[in-house]
Structure 1
Amino acid sequence: MPSTTSSVFRDLIDDAAVFPPGNATLPDAVAHHRAHLTSGYAGCVGPLLVPAASAADLVSVLDGEPTTDGGRAASEPFEVVLIARPGADPALVPAARDLLLDDPRVQVAGAEVGWFDGWVQALAGALPLAVEIPRGADQPRAITEIRAACEAGHPVVAKFRTGPTPAWAWPDEAELAEVLRSMAPQVPFKLTGGLHHAARGTYEVGGVAEENHGILNVLLATAAALDGAGHDEVAGLLAVRDAQALAALVGAWTPETATRVRAAFTAYGCCTVTDPIDELTALNLLTKD
């Protein structure tokens, strides 16, 4: 196994267990997240993603956990990121932050919101922030605003949804390639939705066959976009379905390439973090135990 591989996947997968299609209860999500953080693959796992509207529920879950004889939490604190999905009231984020800020059982590592007019004035600088960019005419403006916020020193990244929802059709290779080329190298980004597998393919989701992008494809496409590759090359990398071939390419990366790609592609949310980890382990890119 290449010595640089672990750096490619470190803190890559944010734990989105409570979001579709996983839809775990918050108590189960907290318990499983703690288990992830004490596992052999803990280095791959980022914060637990929690709806900002559920901050009080999170406090209730933590209140129900065991404590030591001194009244302190028996388990280690963990990082959470507060989520206000597109269409949600962004004011939920500062309210949730204020509720959790002084709770020693969690560390509020950031927030994620859907892009809206005035987000910079409302939220930039309050927390490390991921702003989910829209489709259509507002997308270039959203990316420009995020780039300007980064240049002003705010800890902001763009976010793009790669999986379908009832209101969001699956973005194909052509669309995702253009988004990656628009963001890299000037705008760091994270992704969300649908990235459960190592390689591009057709997978069963809830009994229905769906097209899914692959995490290895995205890593390689990001590297190409950083090198100034054209649309066809980036889209072509996103279309490759040979997991072994993709693994061989990523496994051959130098430490410099791994660092450069992960500076651009910071993380992605996945509702079952062990799905991609199991596949990457089978491809000899990770050691799970």
Structure 2
Amino acid sequence: MNEKIFSLPVIEQITPYISQRKIGELPIITIVHPKVRAAVTLQGAHLVAWQPAGEKPVLWLSDKTAWAAGKAIRGGVPICWPWFGPAGEPAHGFARSLPWKLSAHDENDDSVMLTLVLESNEQTKKLWPHDFTLFARFRFADRCEIELEAHGDFEATAALHSYFSVADIAGVEVSGLGNSFIDKVNNGSEGTSPDGKQTYPDRVDRIHTQPEDCSVINDKVGKRVIEVYHHYQSDVVTWNPGPELSCSMGDMPNEGYKTMVCVETAHISTPLISAGESPSRLAATIRLRKNA
């Protein structure tokens, strides 16, 4: 899937490193730079690829994604806003399924930066009665930086719902998650993790409410470590659907769960508050550490 994105025909060459293409029904901004490749769909300001030069793809993307207007993309980094989960309709909010606009871009010898914007309109006010301006900023280099900034007067919950590519979920351990969590597989019961680590023998869906500022994904089979630095977060979510749920999801391969893990920078247990000249923010930095 990653190679397919970068072999799509160029519709507009915006700068030497930035071009617009189309995948299915969706416009996509692609970055092809000597030090990094990346791609963001205009629908949802959805990061679907990030790959430093010489490295395998870091983000997982389902090859059963429909790439249809208004339909959520499975994989990459969906922006869940202004609510997380089933707190409203559609699930995980509307930001990930609406068209955004590319409002700014820049590039140099080391990196490429993009800013996308979504503003309230008649459609969003039917779903959520607030005026807002939402910015998604990306910096692509040997690390990937993502920032969500929300302007207006309201409270919201949110997540950068990051899917990471791993060689085999059976050999994955995530650390730095903290000691307490809400177990969504077990009816929202509260649990404790003495060492702040998580493995994935079956379905896992947990909101960690006292996470460290960095989660470390140790992909032992793939011999790679992915560091996820969380900024402005109150929580970190980790999820893997396991075999049964994976088989029931129309936009996920039956064995898709084996090659992905979600570690999400989130603000769920306490709300993000935007007020006047004080926007709310949620951000993540992703970095590879070699030789797991």
**Pairwise TM-score range, normalised by the shorter structure:** under 0.3
Where is the helix percentage greater, Structure 1 or Structure 2? 1
Q: Relative contact order: is structure 1 or structure 2 higher (C-alpha 8 Å, sep ≥ 6)?
A: 1
Where is the strand percentage greater, Structure 1 or Structure 2? 2
